[in-house]
């Protein structure tokens, strides 16, 4: 099943091919990072020059419109839209902290969480459903 990921601001597709592409900023470095569209897969491609350590906070932007993807609800998280078909869409909330494996797929019906660093309280918090999060 193909998932389409898109920017919540300009609705541009963020995974035109096999990876999700986001602009990343950390300290004085800026580049494109590639992520797996597969939930729970944290393999990512980080541009040369980025010196990321555990707990480094990365700022993500849409590569198309340049808008900041930081979640307004939780500044340590970023969010983008996803859709797996008509009527099945929601938001993906993921940690901005390098090495922190926590991702939530949130739709009106359910929250699915991935990664060993997920926070049960955050699941409840995000369990509002994306209609309420807006
Ligand atoms: Zn955008």
Ligand 1 centroid distance, CA of 107 (Å):
20
Residues facing residue 120 across a β-bridge? none
Q: How far is the CA of 122 from the centre of ligand 1 (A)?
A: 25
Q: How far is the CA of 8 from the centre of ligand 1 (A)?
A: 7
Q: How far is the CA of 14 from the centre of ligand 1 (A)?
A: 9
Which of 42-56, 77-91, 93-107, 119-133 has the lowest average pLDDT?
119-133
Per-chain residues with Cβ under 5 A from ion ligand 1: 7, 9-10, 12, 62, 64-65
Question: 78 alpha carbon to ligand 1 midpoint, in Å?
Answer: 13
3-state secondary structure of 88: strand
Question: What is the pTM assigned to this prediction?
Answer: 0.85
**Residue 112 pLDDT greater than 80, yes or no:** yes
Beta-carbon contacts of 101 under 8 Å, excluding residues fewer than 6 positions away, are: 42, 95, 114, 115, 116, 117, 118
Q: Quickly list DSSP for 93-134.
A: EEE-BTT---EEEE-SS-EEEESTT--HHHHHHHTT-HHHH-
* Backbone φ and ψ of 64, nearest 5°: -95, -55
What DSSP state is assigned to residue 51?
A: -
């Amino acid at each position: 099943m193909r998932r389409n990921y898109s920017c919540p601001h300009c609705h541009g597709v963020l995974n035109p091919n096999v990876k999700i592409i986001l602009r990343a900023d950390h300290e004085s470095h800026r580049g494109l990072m590639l992520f797996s569209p597969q939930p729970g897969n944290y393999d990512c491609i980080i541009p040369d020059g980025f010196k990321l350590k555990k707990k480094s906070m990365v700022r993500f932007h849409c590569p198309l419109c340049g808008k900041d993807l930081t979640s307004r609800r939780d500044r340590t998280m970023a969010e983008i839209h996803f859709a797996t078909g008509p009527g099945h869409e929601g938001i993906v909330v993921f940690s901005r902290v390098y090495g922190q494996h926590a991702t939530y797929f949130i739709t009106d019906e359910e929250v699915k969480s991935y990664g060993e660093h997920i926070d049960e309280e955050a699941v409840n918090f995000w369990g509002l459903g994306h209609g309420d999060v807006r």
